[in-house]
Amino acid sequence: AVKWLIDAKVDPSATNDEDDTCFHVMQDHIASEDIAIAVLEACRAADANMSQANCEGATVAMLLAERFGMGKAVEWALAHGCTRGDADNSGRRLDSGKG
Q: What is the mean pLDDT of the chain?
A: 56
Position 14 scores a pLDDT of: 46
Position 63 scores a pLDDT of: 66
Question: What residue segments make up the domains of the chain, in order of their start?
Answer: 2-96
| Predicted confidence (pLDDT) at residue 97 exceeds the cutoff of 50 | no
Full-model pTM: 0.36
What is the full DSSP assignment across 44-88?
Answer: HHT-S-HHHHHHHHHHHHHHHHHHH-GGGHHHHHHHTT--HHHHH
